[in-house]
Amino acid sequence: MEPSTDEEQEEIDVIWDEAGTARYRILKDHRLVDFDGHQIAWLDEQGYVFDYKGHHKAFYENGILRDQAGAVVGLGQDPAGPHPVLPNKGLIPKGTKPEKEPDRPKVKKTPEKPQPSLLWSQKTLEEL
């Protein structure tokens, strides 16, 4: 895979996990990809995160990625609101050019956002 240099692929946030490892990139077109360029999910205008089968997986708001119960899956560069402490953020690896995005499925209904938790989620976004 080739390094991402296309201006359209520019990141709007990087998400670190509980261990301080940079895991995901949120791109300008609201795709959530890993640093190897694999498509993980996409975000709608309200911050709901869906996989490419149309299943709701998480919420992204104010730099915080939360699971469906409100627990924190990852923290962005400048998280605002209730969240656990992340003592150290690791270096941001160089991302590779993302794969071509599959078609985004139509989603029927979005659930209510849960109360924000101060706890870390026990699962990664891929496991949700």
Per-residue model confidence (pLDDT) at position 9:
58
Locate the domains of the chain by residue range: 7-127
Between CA 23 and CA 21 the distance in angstroms is: 6
Best CA proximity match to 88, nearest among 26, 17, 34, 23 = 17
E strand or H helix that includes residue 52 = none
Sign of the dihedral defined by the CA atoms of residues 126, 51, 113, 28, in that order: positive
What is the CB neighbour count within 10 angstroms for residue 117? Answer: 16
Single pTM value for the model: 0.87
Per-residue model confidence (pLDDT) at position 110:
78
Blockwise average pLDDT, block size 10, the chain, 128 residues: 50 95 95 95 95 94 96 96 91 91 87 90 90
pLDDT digits (tens, 9 = 90+) for 81-116: 999 999 899 999 998 999 999 999 988 777 888 899
Between CA 100 and CA 98 the distance in angstroms is: 6
Per-residue model confidence (pLDDT) at position 64:
97
